[in-house]
Amino acid sequence: MAGLAVLLLAGAEPRRHPVVRLSAVFDRQNPGSGEWQDGAVADLELREMPDGPEGLYPDPRAMAGVHSTTQAFQEALGHAWALSPWPGQGKCVLWSIAHSDALPVPLRIDGGSLGAAFALGLRELFRRPTSRRPNRASFVSAVFGLRRKAAVTGALDGSERLKQVEGLDAKLRAARKKDVRLIAPEEGNQGFKHLPEFAGVKFAATLKEADRYARQWRYGRLAAAALLTVGVLTPLYISRSDNAEASQHSTASKLASVSGNLLNSHTGLAQLFAARAYQEDPTPQTQAALFKAVTASPHLARSLQASSTISAVAASGDGRTAFAGTAEGAVDSWKLSPDVAEGRRQTALTLKHAVKMIASSADGKTVAAIDKSSAVFRSQGADPVVMHIPPGQEPTAVAVSPSGRFVAVATNIKDYMAPPVLLLHDGTTGKTTSALLKRLSIAPNSIAIPDDGQLVVFDGSYGTWERRSLPHLVQGDGSTVGFGVHDYGSALSADGRYFTYTNADTKLPVWRTSGSPGLDDATLTAQTKGHNPVALALSADGSRAAQAVDTTIYVAGSVSAGQTAPAPTELAGAGPVNAGTLAFLGTGSDRLVSASGDLLTIWDLSQVSRIGAASSAVIPVSCNACPGPSVSIRPDGKYVAVVDGNGVSLDVQKLGANVRHRFVEQADIMSAYTYAPPLWTADGKEIILVSAADDSAQIRTLEPGLPVVGSWAAPPADVLRFTDPVAMIRLTPDGRRAVQVNSSGTVEVRDVQTGRILQKVNGPTDLAQTDGGPVLLGQSDVSIDAAAAHVAVHDTDNNAVYVADLTSGRLLPVPGVGKTAAVAYMKDRLLIRRADDTLEVRSADGARRITTLNGVTDPAYGPVVNSRDAIVETETDGTGKLTHYPSGYTLGTMPIPTGYKAESVGLQFSPDGNQLVTATEVSANDMAAAAGEIVTWQMDPAAWTHIACSSAGRDITADEWTQYMDSSAPDDLRCPA
């Protein structure tokens, strides 16, 4: 710097040409309040200095006395120089900054946000020719130069990528004030891209992209140059690129809008449009559309596409095979897993006409079907068998015994005076026998074969049923209820024990096939919506009835006569249900199949969501003043350890649906806080449990009985030692230390192997424990940042937030927060939930407020974050709200299971942030059983896309694209996953 000054005093002058000027924007800060103030737009000038030392230097004439208090600014200049063509050229470049709003030159410049501006300016300066002879560089510089009204902000790290900067809102205000286009890093700001207040801001991921946004065509010069130059081959590339980006964004927005409109009527199709929208333009808006699509109609498990329009549905007794009969005469089948449909479609049978009814054995290996004139069945590995239907008879119902031995077909004789006929094929003997059903005046529309010893036929027109023995078809008991003329639908349970019908009343009567019940003597009753259904179904045990009305299926639980029946569960989103295509899947009452068009849909009432897998757990109810369960997820995301709010129960189990094996320990209820929030070691092999009594710990291994394989010795006791339960404990990033936060707010950094306290920061005085019993901090009252360098503690009683800086060892109050409710760290940002339900975003030490986001209106728990881009808060009704960070855009909600109190739920993200685990205490009705619930939620948009594509069971068709998008369909309409 001194050498440059000497050169200038000796008469050396920087070259008058070339010189580069461009706008840069940075923020000013009021050191007193720590609040971001409006930034300032400045002119950055770069020019070559002949005979100067190689490098980038401040111009002594304009920048004398300027300094930086941190290394960030100097590092930014170093990165900018290294990324330019200047190194090794032996050239000297001078820089200066002058405020465009006549403010004095800043005496201190901190931060790295000017790095991108310097890098672009240096590249442009290198392009500027020193010769007056025309060349390609002079032509490009003349007709496609840097905008004077474009300001670039962005940090550098030695690569081409732009890094996140702070104070973007202040810089935007400054840019707008000076009518300057702001170009900002995409990193960390994806959520702002399409918010109205950030309209006009160009977000760039790389220097190359920023360079493109910072340039403009000078059409007057271009026209003149075109008369002289033939080699211009790049006209309008930039505008075409901008137009393409705008078109892509517009398409994605419309796709998201279409998805939203289809959520309630065609959830599968809504998922396809949402997945396409997110693929086109992954913004918070399209991410929200995708999240809402995969969480809509939560009991919809999956749809499967049949070979043509479906006319009949059925399922095997074990629930592992689903069947769809089509209008073209095909019987399609799919193998199902216990939770969701899997496998490819296969053709089980082929008939000549539209399939009227399908039946199968319990294992799905024998299947039978009828159309208007024939009955066909087939056993696995054998050829199809066409049953002989006597002339003048028409099949009306079919059934297969659980073992597959018997196939029964009911027929209607066209002479209406003759009784219907029952045909029975015995697979053991190969013979078919028949019997007249003289008790029935109309042919049965249902047959059930509970076992190889009996069958039940049912006429849904009058309510007549009859039992017959097998294999000789000897008539047994039976009766007629007499449904009357207002008979809009009927159903027989799969085991033949129950039957029902509807006259469009709001009550659905259910009778047993025993005795001689009258019309008003129903054994059970269920509540429905009172509509004329297109399909009706009854579970095997009679515990649930399902009624399909247009696009909605109402599933109602049945109760004994005289009791109040619960309101039905509404299943929507699979399109208009085809007539007669509704059945329970297997012998249970949780799963159903229905059809709409050529899609077969699997429903699961036990499924909390397509993105959630639920399992029972041992999580006893805690006291009213106790916090919720503590959740700790193994580093590989495969196991979870849960401690109840009382600290007397430990449950360790795999994550997933319907987990059967778990490790459980329970202490005496009077021994409160026996178990602290569990801590997994970095390798996931052991769990550390700290004692509230003396700060010692047991180290357990994941084996039967959770044996103790190590321990932490209790540290030396203080003169006055009161119980101080652990509120939170986390590993440092290197996995060698644990940061333990007690309910007193005291922070201890401990060696993982020995438990030795390496550092201790005492908590605030107001949280000190006394002999009156421990004051408990909930998990929303404590948070540790990602680097394990800061700990935030919320003092609920005094509306105060403290931050312990583990580098300095100091505990300081966060200023100016007002009434507060919870804290959480999102990477290096502190989130404080205020009493007005907003989320205040601050720097890690809490000293500087950055922005404010909207929170939930009736909060119960949270915020819980995944240290990437997701914030979850729960409301008292169990609704979980998902918010995108940093935009604050609400992505949607999800139904988190609730307990008997608002604080009955614990939440934790997996280490990779892709899963959210919720643990809910036992409900008030199940306290004796101590059965809580653990749900694993998929929170990665890539997983949502996969779920959307797989559960939809098909792709968007060209006709559907044209119908909903009002444009020609692209060539590739395959779902992204």
- Mean pLDDT, residues 832-858: 89
Whole-number Å distance between alpha carbons of 796 and 817: 13
- Mean pLDDT, residues 335-345: 67
| pLDDT of residue 139 exceeding 70 | no
pLDDT tens-digit series, residues 872-893: 999 888 889 999 998 889 999 9
pLDDT tens-digit series, residues 638-657: 999 999 888 888 999 999 98
Closest CA to 678 of 446, 523, 908: 908
| pLDDT of residue 101 exceeding 60 | no
CB 612 within 8 A of CB 894: yes
Query: CA-CA distances (angstroms) from residue 966 to 246, 712, 963, 969?
Result: 18, 68, 6, 9
* Predicted pLDDT of residue 672: 55
pLDDT band at 394 (very low <50, low <70, confident <90, very high): very high
Whole-number Å distance between alpha carbons of 259 and 114: 41
CB 421 within 8 A of CB 389: no
Give the strand pairing for 870-875 and 879-884. antiparallel
Closest CA to 369 of 401, 409, 404, 403: 409
Whole-number Å distance between alpha carbons of 383 and 365: 12
Report the side by side order of strands in the sheet with 300-305: 300-305, 599-604, 591-596, 582-584
Q: Is 438 helix (H, G, I), strand (E, B) or coil?
A: coil
Higher pLDDT, 232 or 711: 711
DSSP 875-944: ETTSEEEEEETTT--EEEEEE----SSTT-EEEEE-TTSSEEEEEEPPPGGGTTTTEEEEEEEE--HHHH
* Category of 71 on φ-ψ map: left (φ > 0), alpha (ψ -120 to 50) or beta: alpha
Fill in the DSSP letter of residue 472.
T
- Mean pLDDT, residues 827-855: 90
Residue type, 90: G
How many residues in the chain?
977
- What number of CA atoms fall less than 13 Å from residue 235's CA on the CB side? 11
pLDDT tens-digit series, residues 215-264: 765 444 444 444 444 333 344 444 555 567 778 888 999 999 999 999 98
- Mean pLDDT, residues 106-112: 75
Q: Is 514 helix (H, G, I), strand (E, B) or coil?
A: coil
Q: Which three-class secondary structure string do you get for 550-571?
A: CCEEEEEEEEECCCCCCCCEEE
pLDDT tens-digit series, residues 947-957: 999 999 999 99
Strand partners, 558: 526
Closest CA to 825 of 853, 790, 795: 790
- Mean pLDDT, residues 808-813: 94
% of the chain exceeding 90 in pLDDT: 54
Other Cβ atoms less than 10 A from the Cβ of 927: the count is 14
The region of weakest confidence among 183-187, 286-290, 505-509, 775-779 is: 775-779
Cβ contacts of residue 69 below 8 Å, gap of 6+?
108, 110
Angle between helices 136-143 and 219-228 (to 10 degrees): 150
Q: Which two tokens stand for residue 825?
A: 């760290």
Fill in the DSSP letter of residue 231.
-
- Mean pLDDT, residues 435-454: 94
The region of weakest confidence among 770-774, 801-805, 871-875, 949-953 is: 770-774
- Mean pLDDT, residues 273-277: 97
Residue 826 backbone dihedrals phi, psi, to 5 degrees? -110, 100
Higher pLDDT, 17 or 973: 973
- Alpha-carbon dihedral sign for residues 766, 767, 768, 774: positive
Exposure string of 93-107, with b = 16+ CB inside 10 Å and e = fewer, is: bbbbbeeeeeeeeee
- Mean pLDDT, residues 557-573: 91
Residue that the structure tokens 């409006």 belong to: 38
* Predicted pLDDT of residue 104: 54
Whole-number Å distance between alpha carbons of 471 and 433: 9
- Mean pLDDT, residues 393-421: 92
* Predicted pLDDT of residue 127: 79
* Predicted pLDDT of residue 777: 84
pLDDT tens-digit series, residues 366-388: 999 999 999 999 998 899 999 99
* Predicted pLDDT of residue 248: 85
Q: Which two tokens stand for residue 909?
A: 């993200």
CB 870 within 8 A of CB 884: yes
pLDDT tens-digit series, residues 515-532: 998 888 899 999 988 788
State the alpha helices, DSSP H only, in 263-283.
267-280
Higher pLDDT, 770 or 79: 79
pLDDT tens-digit series, residues 936-973: 999 999 999 999 999 999 999 999 999 999 999 999 99
Whole-number Å distance between alpha carbons of 572 and 883: 26
Whole-number Å distance between alpha carbons of 30 and 834: 24
- Mean pLDDT, residues 820-841: 91
| pLDDT of residue 31 exceeding 50 | no
pLDDT band at 197 (very low <50, low <70, confident <90, very high): low
pLDDT band at 928 (very low <50, low <70, confident <90, very high): very low
Exposure string of 882-898, with b = 16+ CB inside 10 Å and e = fewer, is: bbbbbbbbbbbbbebbb
First to last CA, the chain: 58
Helix or strand run (H / E) with residue 951: helix 941-952
| pLDDT of residue 134 exceeding 70 | no
Residue type, 30: N
* Predicted pLDDT of residue 29: 47
Closest CA to 871 of 836, 913, 912, 899: 913
The model's pTM is: 0.77
Fill in the DSSP letter of residue 163.
B
Query: CA-CA distances (angstroms) from residue 735 to 139, 306, 752, 770?
Result: 57, 52, 8, 33
pLDDT band at 298 (very low <50, low <70, confident <90, very high): very high
- Mean pLDDT, residues 799-821: 92
Residue 118 backbone dihedrals phi, psi, to 5 degrees? -65, -45
The region of weakest confidence among 126-135, 343-352, 608-617, 697-706 is: 126-135
Whole-number Å distance between alpha carbons of 729 and 747: 10
Fill in the DSSP letter of residue 656.
S
| pLDDT of residue 333 exceeding 60 | yes
The region of weakest confidence among 243-252, 666-675, 826-835, 840-849 is: 666-675
Helix or strand run (H / E) with residue 413: strand 406-413
Closest CA to 325 of 263, 381, 395: 395
Whole-number Å distance between alpha carbons of 787 and 731: 10
pLDDT band at 774 (very low <50, low <70, confident <90, very high): low
pLDDT band at 679 (very low <50, low <70, confident <90, very high): very high
- Average model confidence (pLDDT) across the chain: 86
pLDDT tens-digit series, residues 149-165: 788 899 988 888 898 88
Whole-number Å distance between alpha carbons of 560 and 523: 6
Q: How far is CA 411 from the centre of its chain?
A: 51
- Alpha-carbon dihedral sign for residues 271, 272, 277, 280: positive
CB 781 within 8 A of CB 794: yes
Residue type, 263: L
CB 468 within 8 A of CB 449: no
Higher pLDDT, 471 or 20: 471
Radius of gyration of the chain (CA): 36
- Alpha-carbon dihedral sign for residues 849, 854, 857, 861: negative
pLDDT band at 768 (very low <50, low <70, confident <90, very high): confident
